[in-house]
Amino acid sequence: MLLLTAAVSCSTPEKKTADRTNPFFEAYNTPFDLPPFDRFMDGDYIPAFEKGIAEQKSEIDAIVANPDAPDFKNTIEAMERSGVLLNKVSDVFFNINSSLTSDTIQKIARELSPLLSKHGDDIILNAGLFKRIEAVYNKRDSLGLNGEQYMLLEKTYKNFVRGGARLDAAGQEKLRKINEELSIVSLMFGENVLAETNKYKFVVENEADLAGLPAGFRDAAAEAASKAGMEGKWMFTLQKPSLIPVLQYVENRNIREQMFKAYNMRGDHNDELDNKKIASRTAALRAERAMLLGYPTHADFVLEQNMAKTPAKVIAFLDELLGAAMPMAAKEAANLQKMIDAKGDNITLEPWDWWFYAEMLRKEKYDLDEEEMRPYFELGHVRDGVFAVANKLFGIQFIKKDDLPKYHPDVEVYEVTDADSSHLGILYMDFYPRDSKRGGAWMDSFRKQSRMDGVEISPVITTNFNFTAPSGDVPALLNWDEVSTLFHEMGHALHGLLANSTYNSLSGTAVPRDFVELPSQIMENWAPEPEVLALYAKHYKTGEVIPETLVKKMQNSSTFNQGFAMAEFLSAARLDMDWHTITDTIERESNTFEQHSLTRMGLIPQIVVRYRSPYFSHIFSGGYSAGYYSYIWSEVLDSDAFEAFKEKNNVFDKETATSFRKHILEKGGTEDPMKLYVDFRGREPKKDALLRKRGLK
């Protein structure tokens, strides 16, 4: 079942154009039933959404009109069974809007947003439907349901209550308006961030201004300029693979400052792409909705369904870590200033200096140059390495398929099979930045796993990245952060690929936000293990495995700059909580609110919060509102869980891997997450492993 935050008008005859049937209206007839990307046209989406909404509306009407007494099968499972076409088109459209958008696709998304919001509310606020759901829920303990059925009933009932089913008519009408506006402003926020990122180009005409920048990055910038019609120049963008090397290596401080400020000021120029008022409006609307539904704040509303449960618990958790990280960051800043003074550079450390001098200090302190590592992290080798880890843990295989449909030439497609060679699913991997693709890295699905009514539906998973692209005859070489990101997203992919649930809505990553990062973040723990590095860290020219001396330097520097990393992240997580614990509907001035928040938590001026409010897409256009803390919360889980392998003195211990697959990866949202964790670990998680890993203990 698809419960969307918005929906579509319902005039839906099957539409043909020039004797061409809309591909969403017929069987795909492709290998593994994959979307036939080459057959889709922009004009297919709206008619498919309209027809999908009309079909689901009819299905819901039939459930309500059923003369039989409501039971699990004719009400809860019937709802789960509804919306097949709507799911089908949504899974394609929203992935394409993230990975290969265009002006037309964005226009369609804006048109769809209020329609989908209405459709979702029409389902949640259907009094006859809720009456049947409530009747089943009230007799839940006498129905003989298994654990997954019980969880589906519980979540369905709570979704309706949390969606306003108990509100009076006036309250429901008010809720509809709030939901519709939220769907629109969320879309606008994300579009503005993408447009801001894409429009900025920093062009260098004199190569001397790039002193310090390694040759590979110069070549990539020259190639980018050439493609833009600026032969003989060097062009940089605000995409991380272009920005970070400038901040790390370019000696020209003015260039570092300009690039840093351009990134840091996205959405904050008081122009048509400004996001400050959108952020404030979003927070106010969320607060209004939460209070309408009987919650003190939006954070209370969100966290009720998470492991953390309450804002107070999250804030206490973050403040405890901030209390350890901020002094550590201040000490790091003092050390960097000491280095600056010793060099006679005669400057005061600013945020655009941190990356540059931290890289210099790392070389001095640990004899470790990140560029020394990069040749050993060729993208293809790292990809094969993460495949090897998954194989050693779970026995699964990744078979490249060049003949399967894909939405962009750069995308790689793999069939994933289990240890017995049976088909598990399909994995798409989309590695490089482009103007039509949003920033960051993420996993999603073109189809989720399920087996309702005895029909086995295999998953189709997509992973997306924005890695440094190949340049000239040099392949894509990753930095350590990008290596970790590849392992991270593969963890999410495994959560989807190894899902083993009956119901689509409980499958794979359909878990609380502060639990969903456990499968992804635990994978990062394998990346630096020496025996794992030996699988993938091979020099792209010579094939030489990364030297033991270099591995030792990596290990010795593993907690280097962690005060900075923790302060940067935790301040963003705390800012998120501040935005979403407001208790009124006043629209704050965004920059003032943000500055008060950062000052209160003691963020030092040499460090800028990881995401300023005008481009904090995770919380204002993604699904992480009152949930950005989840990454560090889940790091407690993943650090503790990985120790289960270390305690066996074998990071590939089969018994432990099988238990992790059975209790975490396969279960999805079919049971309470803490129960799943205890089933795997034998106890609740402890913070000790995280504190050691981060150098805080």
φ, ψ of residue 587 to 5 degrees: the values are -90, 105
Distance CA 71, CA 126 (A): 17
Distances, alpha carbon 171 to alpha carbons 162, 528, 580, in Å:
13, 53, 21
Alpha-helix runs per DSSP H in 82-214 = 84-99, 103-124, 127-138, 147-162, 169-199
Terminal-residue alpha carbon distance, the chain: 46
Tell me which DSSP letter residue 616 carries.
-
φ, ψ of residue 424 to 5 degrees: the values are -105, -45
**Under 8 Å between Cβ of 280 and 565:** no
Contacts of 610 (CB under 8 A, 6+ apart): 568, 569, 571, 572
**Under 8 Å between Cβ of 151 and 507:** no
| 537 burial type by CB count under 10 A (0-12 exposed, 13-18 middle, 19+ buried) | buried
**Under 8 Å between Cβ of 221 and 235:** yes
Strands of the sheet containing 460-464, edge to edge, are 397-400, 412-417, 423-430, 460-464, 442-447
| Among candidate residues 537, 536, 545, 513, the one with its CA nearest the CA of residue 629 | 513
3-state secondary structure 503-537: CHHHCCCCCCHHHHHHHHHHHHCCCCCHHHHHHHC
Alpha-helix runs per DSSP H in 125-146 = 127-138
Token couple for 526: 């394998």
Tell me which DSSP letter residue 417 carries.
E
CA 657 to chain centre: 24
**Helices 590-601 and 562-579: angle between axes, nearest 10 degrees:** 130
Contacts of 25 (CB under 8 A, 6+ apart): 14, 48, 51, 85
Alpha-helix runs per DSSP H in 210-297 = 215-227, 240-249, 253-264, 276-292
3-state secondary structure 38-96: HHCCHHHHHHHHHHHHHHHHHHHHHHHHCCCCCCHHHHHHHHHHCCHHHHHHHHHHHHH
In the Cβ-directed half-sphere of 611, how many Cα atoms lie within 13 Å?
A: 25
3-state secondary structure of 412: strand
| Among candidate residues 643, 625, 630, the one with its CA nearest the CA of residue 688 | 643
User: Active-site residue among 489, 568, 635, 666?
Assistant: 489
Distances, alpha carbon 346 to alpha carbons 341, 342, 352, in Å:
6, 9, 15
CA pseudo-torsion sign 667, 670, 674, 679: negative
489 is catalytic: yes
CA-derived radius of gyration, the chain: 25
User: CA torsion, points 554, 557, 561, 566, in degrees to nearest 10?
Assistant: 80
Tokens 């579009």 belong to 191
Token couple for 184: 């629109």
Tokens 């089933």 belong to 679
Tokens 């803390």 belong to 629
3-state secondary structure 368-407: CCHHHHHHHEEHHHHHHHHHHHHHHHHCCEEEECCCCCCC
3-state secondary structure of 435: coil
- The neighbouring-strand residues paired with 463 are 429, 443
Please give the positions annotated as active site: 489
